[in-house]
Each structure stands twice: as structure tokens, then as C-alpha cells.
Structure 1
Amino acid sequence: MNSRGLALLLAASISVVTTAFLSLVNVSVNALIVTFVISFSSSYLLIHMILNFLIFNEIKKMQNAIKKLNNKEIQFNDPEGFNPLNPLKRIQSEIHAYAVSKQQEIDQLKKTENFRREFIADISHELKTPIFSAQGFVHTLLDGAIEDKKVRQKFLKKAAKSLDGLDILVQDLLTLSQMETGQIKMQYERFNVFAVVNEVFEQLEGEAEKKEIDMGFTEFSNNQVFVVADQQRIYQVMLNLISNAIKYTRKQGSVRVGFEKRKKEVLITVSDNGRGIPDEDIKRIFERFYRVEKSRSKDKGGTGLGLAIVKHVLEAHDTRIEVQSKVEEGSTFSFALPTA
């Protein structure tokens, strides 16, 4: 039954009762008819308006909200708000708020599930390569190759290299896990970040020479750049950024580190003239195991966790890493640290 039918029924009942009471008094038939018509009309209009605007319309809105929720079309706002004088509108607002919160929980659970699925697939893929490699060398030795001294030495070195890579991967995973759970605390101190970058250059000198890459500082950099941060972690950040720049810069390219002093901070940049990063990949390069060049990732080496560690370390320093890149022109990574 709709609001009109219910209003007709209630109005007729009220009119009949009112007319019956008046009939007990000495009232003419015409007066009774007029009373019936007036009471019926006024009761119908009033009841119909109340039922239609305060009850049935609100129930219809609730049904539409539930329908949208089932169709995943729920909106994350309630433009009408709620009227405290109308309990049904208040219930509708509560249903809307509950539906929105549950939809957000469902979306978050789906994101978490997708992340878990991708993470398991990625970690399985990354672990498989060094394990299978070392396993193959060891089984080859056990099958008789161990008798040949040259082959034995060669295969043992290769197996050791694979296991070293596996150890680095596990250590990087532990570092990320400890950062996310807050187990690693930053040890702030005053140090010269220019000297730290020089140490990184010395460590990566061999890799740069193989590709004939020129490493150095920008023209406006000086050799006294003191900041307050965790020196060991910033060393790790610079090592990952410069190492990545070398890997993805073409032969005979260049890698430059710059320092721009500001009022209360120093902007540190790492630039290269390599292949660059496509726009669709920039937002994801700081995810675990994400690689821009999937097909050549193994040739480049690394664990795929370097930029994820960079992101977490800098966030722990209350700063963030920024990226500017153009395909075939190069990339620039930058972040700021407070001056000493």
C-alpha cells in the first residue's frame, strides 16, 4: 500500500468517526454531509503529506541507498545531512555512514589482498633465482665435478655469489620490516654529507668505470655541507640512488650529485642522463620489487628493494623523495635534510 491509499483509508475512518459523533447531537443531514466532506478532505491532505514526505520518501531513499550499496555505487558524501526532528532521516544518515565505512573497509581489504598476492609472487620470484642457481652448482659438484679442481673452484665461487645475493635480499627485507614496525630508530648526528657522498663514489668507482660513467658533483656544490641526520642511513640512501643512476645510465654517461643550501635545510639531488622513467612508472618505483624494465631486471642486478628502503629512511627523517624524469633524457631524485 502506498501513501495515497493509506491516507484515503485513515481519512475515511476519521470522517466516519467524526460524523458518527455529530449524529448523536441534533444536527441536520446537510451539516453531517458538510462535516464528513471537510473532515475527509483535511484529514486526507494532512495525512498524505505527512506519510509521503516524512515516511515513504525516506523509506524510498533508504531502499535506493541499499540498492546503490549492493551495486557498489554508494557515494562518499551525504549532501542532505540529517534532520534531528525526523527520526527516519536520522536512521537514513546512520545507514549511509555505516555503508560508507564498510565500503571503505572492503576496498582497503581488497588493496591489502592484492598487495599480499603481489608480494608473495615477487618474493618467490626473487628468492627462486639465487636458490636455484646455488642449488645447481652444488648438485653439479656432487655429481662428480668436484674431482676437477678448476671446475670445483669455479662452481663454488658461483654458488657463493648466489648465496651472497640471497643474503643481501634477506637483509634488505629485514631492514624494511624493521623500519615499518619501528624497530629501527634514527640516530641523529651532525656530519658532512659531502664526505658521505665521496665515500659512496669510491665504493661504486668500479661499476662506473665498467660503463665509462663520469661521477661527480654539480658546479655549485662545495665540500662543506653539514646536516643533522642518521649518517649510516643517509649513506645507504645515497648508495642506492647513485647505484641506480649508474645501472640505468647509458655507457659514457654522467651522474651528478648536487647540494642546494636553503634557510634551514639542504636540498640534495642525484641526477643522471640515462633512459629516464615513464610517467606511468614514477608512482610505483618506490614499491617493493617494482622494476621499470622487467625483462632486463636480472641483468641490472640488485634486489628491487633499494628505492623502497630509500623511501622509508627519508620518511623516518620527516622528509620525502621527489622524482623528475623524462624518457631518453634522464632522471633527478631529490630530498631535503635539515642543516646542522
Structure 2
Amino acid sequence: MSSRIVSLLLSVSIAIVTTAFTSLLSGVSTVALLVCFTMAFFSSYLLFYFALEFLVFREINEAYRMIEKLRKKDFKIAKKRSKPLLSFVKKLNQEIYTYGANKQKEIDHLKQMEVFRREFLADVSHELKTPIFAAQGFLHTLLDGAIDDENVRDKFLLKAVKSLDGLNTMIQDLLTLSKMEAGFITMDYDIFDISQLTRDVFEQLEEQAAQRKITLRFDQPYQEVMVYADAKRIRQVIINLLENAIKYGSKNGNVEVGFSNSEQNLLDIMVKDDGPGISVEHLDRIFERFYRVEKSRSKDKGGSGLGLAIVKHILSAHDTEIKVNSKVKKGTAFTFQLQTTPVDNEEITKVMPPRALEPTSIED
């Protein structure tokens, strides 16, 4: 039913009733009754039409439009009218729409989480299966008689231990990620020299880099660079990024770490390799758990597949994010920012002289 039909029916009814009562008066002519009917009809019609059209039907139609937007998953609420004629109806419409939009978003989020859960279970099952089956195979071989051969025994035991060490690393990384996501791990902020921390990590990974004949270096001569962060967690970030660069960088290549001031009280940290790079379609997913890029970042490189996911969570806890810039056959650069001083500290801490962070851009 439209507002015109309802207004017409009501107006006719009022006009008839008004004319009927008027006709009861003595001395009322037919012309007067006709005028009375006409005036009652038109005045009632206009009153009811505008009242219904602008106060009721318009808001009902708005509710239908909101429902249609929900069906199309358009969650943007239209701008409020400057002077709503029936504010409580409009407010009710918006409340219904907001409730529906939130529920739809929850449903979509649950669907995404279900997909993520299935993918995660498949990935973690596959990742755990490999070291378990490897260690199991070596141990069964020994039990089947190879244990009597001293050379074979030692070789297979070392391989089994290596597989189990990899399994333990993966489990520890999974526990770390789970604790971070649950909020059980808090950041212990302090001011420290990130340049010295990086030098310590260089020494820790020196043997690993030497195996691939990769040189670890700063992009400029060493200087003290102070930052305000959790030193233990940032050390873990630097280790994961450097291990990643060593594994996937080019043999006989270089891995560089650079620092530069970008904004007041913010320092850019860059880790760059000259490896085969990452194609564009993989860049948005490399921080997912167990995600591996085929060929240049294949599974035979080792690792738990959780390093970059941990890096992302640690930096997120520091209210910053990691960015990646990569070109195929040109190399990859990871960059992130850290505070150089506490937010409420006006004292200027010694940092690197301001300059452009050139290594973050992979040149053609």
C-alpha cells in the first residue's frame, strides 16, 4: 500500500463523516454540503499524504534500502539528514542496520577464520609430519640392524637429532606466536644500541653466512644508534630477517643492514639481500604462517616457516609494521621503524644523521 492510497481512503472517510454530520444541521443547502465534502477531502488528503509520505513511508523505504545494502554487503551507513522529521524512526532504522551490518561482518569473519583454521591445520600437519617421519625412518633403520654399524649409527642418529631439533624449533615458534596473539607476551621497553645488537647477531650468524659465502655488513661505517624498544624481541626480529636473507640470498653475495632517521624520534631499520627476489603475487602472503614461495624460497631451505610471522607480530606489538620491497633478480629489502626515545621524553637521543634510506629501494 502506498501513501496515496491510504491518504485517499482516509480522506474520503473523513469527508463523508464530516458531510454527514453537517447535513444534520437545519438549513444547510446541497451546495454547502458539497463544499464541505470537498474541503474536508482535500485538506485531509494533503495532511495524511505528507504525514505518511515524509514521516512513515520514507523511513520504511529507507529500512528496505538498508536491508538491500546488507544483502549486497555494503556496510556504509548513509549520511544523516540535517533535520530528520521523525528522528526515532530513523534512529530505529540505523540501529537495525548497524546491528545487521555487525552480524554480517561477524559471519564473514567466522567464515574467514574457518578457512584459516582448515588451512592452518593442513599446513601444521604437513610441517610436523616431515621431521617426525624423517626421525622415525632413521630410528627404525637403526632398530632393523643398522645400529651395529658404527658409522651408519652415528650418521643416522645425527640426522634424527637434526630432524627433532627442527621439530622443537617449530613448536617453540608456534608457542611464541600463540602467546603473542593471546596477549600473554608483553614488551619490556628500554633504550639500547641497536647497532651493537646487530653486530652481536652478525657474530652469531657468521658461520651460517660463511657456508654460503655471504658477507654480513652495515651499509655505512658503524655508529652508535639508540632506540627505545624491547631489546630481546628486536634481537629476535634481526635474527629472523638476517637468517631469511642468508638462506635466500645469492651465494657469494652481500646482506646489508642500514639505519636512518626518517621522522622525529623515529628510526628506519633496513635488512637487504641481493638474492633472486620475490614476485609480486607472493609479497602480500610471505608473513603468513608456513607460507613458502616456490623455487627460490622452497622448503629445502629449512626453517620453521614461522620466522616472518613472528617478526610481524613482534613489530605489531611495538606499534609499527614491517614493509617489504622486492624485485625478481634484484633482491629483497625489509624495513621497519622504531622509536628513538620514549614518547613522553623530550630528551633527544643520539641517532644516525638524517639521510635517505636508499637500500630500501631495489634499483632496476
Q: TM-score, normalised by structure 1?
A: 0.89
Q: Which amino acid is the alignment partner of residue 162 of structure 1? A: S
> Residues 207-241 of structure 1, C-alpha deviation per residue, up to 9 Å, x if partnerless?
3223222221213x324334343333222211111
The answer to whether 1:205 aligns with 2:206 is yes
Checking the alignment, whether the CA contact within 8 Å between 2:276 and 2:296 is kept in structure 1 is: no
The answer to whether 1:15 aligns with 2:15 is yes
* Paired position in structure 2 for 1:154: 155
CA distance in 2, matches of 1:228, 1:184: 18
Question: How far did 1:276 drift?
Answer: 1.8
Q: Which amino acid is the alignment partner of residue 113 of structure 1? A: E
Checking the alignment, whether the CA contact within 8 Å between 1:4 and 1:48 is kept in structure 2 is: yes
CA distance in 2, matches of 1:226, 1:50: 69
Q: Percent identical across equivalent pairs?
A: 55
Cα distance change, pair 56–194 in 1 and its aligned pair in 2 (3 A): closer
CA distance in 2, matches of 1:276, 1:106: 37
* Paired position in structure 2 for 1:115: 116
CA distance in 1, matches of 2:282, 2:173: 22
Alignment of 1:155-234 (within 5 A): 155-219=156-220, 221-234=221-234
Q: Which amino acid is the alignment partner of residue 8 of structure 2? A: L
Q: How many residues align?
A: 338
Question: How far did 1:298 drift?
Answer: 1.6
CA distance in 1, matches of 2:267, 2:32: 95
* Paired position in structure 2 for 1:275: 276
Cα distance change, pair 61–315 in 1 and its aligned pair in 2 (3 A): closer
Q: TM-score, normalised by structure 2?
A: 0.84
CA distance in 2, matches of 1:248, 1:147: 39
* Paired position in structure 2 for 1:40: 41
Question: How far did 1:280 drift?
Answer: 3.1
Cα distance change, pair 244–58 in 1 and its aligned pair in 2 (3 A): same
Q: Which amino acid is the alignment partner of residue 36 of structure 2? A: T
Unaligned runs of 5+ in 2: 341-348, 350-364
Checking the alignment, whether the CA contact within 8 Å between 1:78 and 1:96 is kept in structure 2 is: no
Q: Aligned-residue CA RMSD in angstroms?
A: 2.4
- SS of alignment partner, residue 8 of structure 1: helix
Checking the alignment, whether the CA contact within 8 Å between 2:193 and 2:226 is kept in structure 1 is: yes
CA distance in 1, matches of 2:38, 2:80: 38
CA distance in 2, matches of 1:319, 1:68: 35
Checking the alignment, whether the CA contact within 8 Å between 1:133 and 1:159 is kept in structure 2 is: yes
Checking the alignment, whether the CA contact within 8 Å between 1:277 and 1:325 is kept in structure 2 is: yes
Question: Which sits farther off after the overlay, 263-272 or 11-20?
Answer: 263-272
Checking the alignment, whether the CA contact within 8 Å between 1:54 and 1:86 is kept in structure 2 is: no
- SS of alignment partner, residue 72 of structure 2: coil
CA distance in 2, matches of 1:79, 1:203: 58
CA distance in 2, matches of 1:204, 1:224: 21
> Residues 136-181 of structure 1, C-alpha deviation per residue, up to 9 Å, x if partnerless?
1122222332233322222211111110000000111112222233
Structure 1 stretches of 4+ moved >6 Å? none
Question: Which sits farther off after the overlay, 131-140 or 309-318?
Answer: 309-318
Alignment of 1:133-148 (within 5 A): 133-148=134-149
Q: Which amino acid is the alignment partner of residue 334 of structure 1? A: T
- SS of alignment partner, residue 320 of structure 1: coil
Question: How far did 1:257 drift?
Answer: 1.4
Unaligned runs of 5+ in 1: none
* Paired position in structure 1 for 2:250: 250
Cα distance change, pair 213–38 in 1 and its aligned pair in 2 (3 A): same
Q: Which amino acid is the alignment partner of residue 10 of structure 2? A: L
